[in-house]
Amino acid sequence: MNNFEADLRQKTEAVEKLIAAYLPAEKGFQKTVLEAMNYSVLAGGKRLRPILMQETFRMMGGEGNLVEPFMAAIEMIHTYSLVHDDLPAMDNDEYRRGKYTTWKKYGEGMGVLAGDALLNYAVETALRAFSFCVNEEQTKRVIKALGILFQKAGIYGMIGGQTADVETEKSQGVVTLEKLLFIHGYKTAALLEASMMTGAILAGACEEETEMIRECAYYLGIAFQIRDDILDVTGNEKELGKSVGSDAQNHKQTYVTLKGLETAEEDTKTYSQRAISILEELDGDSAFLRWLFEKLVDRKK
């Protein structure tokens, strides 16, 4: 195992602990929804978004724990999106991360509520960052980071992308590359943009640096989603912890159906290289993030 691999393992474990500490206690008459929320968040996953946020925060010179509530909040937002995406009304998936999806385990109504509750609790959690602020400058950063986080999760971000995706799939019409890039950019890249931008903003990055980081995360997100499309064709169900071939089964048009497997592979590399070269232009130590980007776009799960 190289040093970065060991670093990632240690960072993932630390993030797991941090997220767990922010989850609600399972008690009261609403206990079932609390259990469903915690089951969904603790089911595993790469913890990519909080790790990206924390590493960007560090790279941009951030110190202290201002970033921590935001790390927990973004994982809650990500988890809610997966919980809702798996519902019968959307993808109707029974397994994720090798376990029953939330609705399959707790029932459909509770699946809806657990997703709603996670999004709401993400707001409550991110707001806790105000209690860590020690001066006016930090308070301003938290306000700005909140704006970015919820914009990128919303109609001008992930929900916007999911809307275009659901409609395109339903219509079974021809999807253009422009529309596909809109879907990938909003559904997938927006939350990665939110992760890295909030990390940068909380560390005190200026407008120009924050915009460079947004662009970097956008390219990473596109590469990450093309890899997801590729894995749906070439991936291994056991390794992925979910079924493969669902795009083809649903006659879904993806980057692979549009451009072919070979070009999709090449484009993944092009987009990730663009992201990496932006990291190289920035002043801070980006060695870990550059390694992580390479690993993500070559991932098998």
Binding site for ligand GRG (CB under 6 A): 45-46, 48, 81-82, 84-85, 97, 158-159, 162, 187-188, 225, 228
Backbone angles phi, psi at 89, to 5 degrees: -70, -20
Cβ distance to ligand GRG smaller for residue 77 or 282: 77
Nearest approach in angstroms of CB 229 to ligand GRG is 9
Pick between residue 125 and residue 282 the one whose CB is nearest to ligand GRG: 125
The whole-angstrom separation of Cα 70 and Cα 233 is 34
| Residue showing the smallest CB distance to ligand GRG in the complex | 45
196-213: b or e for each residue (b if 16 or more CB lie within 10 Å)? bbbbbbbbbbeeebbebb
Nearest approach, Cβ of 68 to ligand GRG (angstroms)? 19
Residue 145 structure tokens:
């980071």
Query: Which residue, 55 or 85, is less far from ligand GRG as judged by CB?
Result: 85
Report the DSSP beta bridge partners of residue 99: 96
Considering beta carbons, is residue 58 or 187 the nearer one to ligand GRG?
187
Nearer to ligand GRG among residue 7 and residue 228 (C-beta): 228
**Rounded-to-integer distance, Cα 63 and Cα 43, Å:** 29
Distance separating alpha carbons of residues 33 and 40, to the nearest angstrom: 11
Q: How far is CA 96 from CA 113, 191, 301, in A?
A: 18, 19, 11
Residue 214, number of CB atoms within 10 A of its CB: 20
Q: In whole angstroms, how close is the CB of 64 to ligand GRG at the nearest point?
A: 26
Q: Could you tell me the CA-to-CA distances from 294 to 11, 163, 167, 242 in Å, in that order?
A: 17, 30, 32, 23
Q: At closest approach, how far in Å is the CB of 173 from ligand GRG?
A: 20
* Cα gap 164→171, rounded to integer Å: 11
CB of 15 to ligand GRG, least distance (A): 11
Q: Which residue number, 35 or 228, has a Cβ lying nearer to ligand GRG? A: 228
Q: How far is the CB of 234 from ligand GRG (least distance, A)?
A: 15
